[in-house]
A = this chain, B = another copy of it.
Amino acid sequence: MATSMALRVGKVDRILDALGDSTRRRIIRLLSTRPMSVSDLAKPLGITVTAVTQHLRILQSCALLTSRKNGRVRMCSLDASGFETLEHWVSECRTSWERRLDRLGGILDEDDT
């Protein structure tokens, strides 16, 4: 379990870097309703198709998105595998925190600022 997390760190880093941009998150939200082409995406985003392509490359490189080119049209859709990787990491973060809290009995409560 510690091993699987270590092996996934590089992946998770790239996923979180990818999701750390609001335009890429808008792309994810658009694609969560239906598959769309590059220019379909560019229109509501209000940016050039070139910019969209650059974002797609990043989302694809960390398995948050898949695409296939039919003729001259590239259709894009979400890829579950990246989200699964992320889901594992988040739940591991949370559970390791909970384990620690159980051991210590909740010493830290609030901040002061």
Contacts and interface: CB of A to CB of B under 8 A. Distances in A.
Q: Which of A69, A87, A91, A108 has the most CB of B within 10 A?
A: A108
A86 B80 contact: no
B94 A84 contact: yes
B112 A68 contact: yes
Contacts of A34: 100
Given A16-B19, A17-B20, A68-B108, 11 more contacts: A13-B22, A19-B19, A60-B111, A60-B113, A66-B110, A67-B111, A68-B109, A80-B94, A80-B101, A86-B90, A87-B90
Interface of A: 13, 16-17, 19-22, 25, 28, 32-35, 60, 66-69, 75, 77-78, 80, 83-84, 86-87, 90-91, 93-94, 96-98, 100-101, 107-113
15 contacts: A13-B25, A16-B19, A17-B20, A20-B21, A32-B100, A33-B100, A60-B111, A66-B109, A66-B111, A67-B108, A68-B108, A68-B110, A80-B97, A80-B98, A87-B94
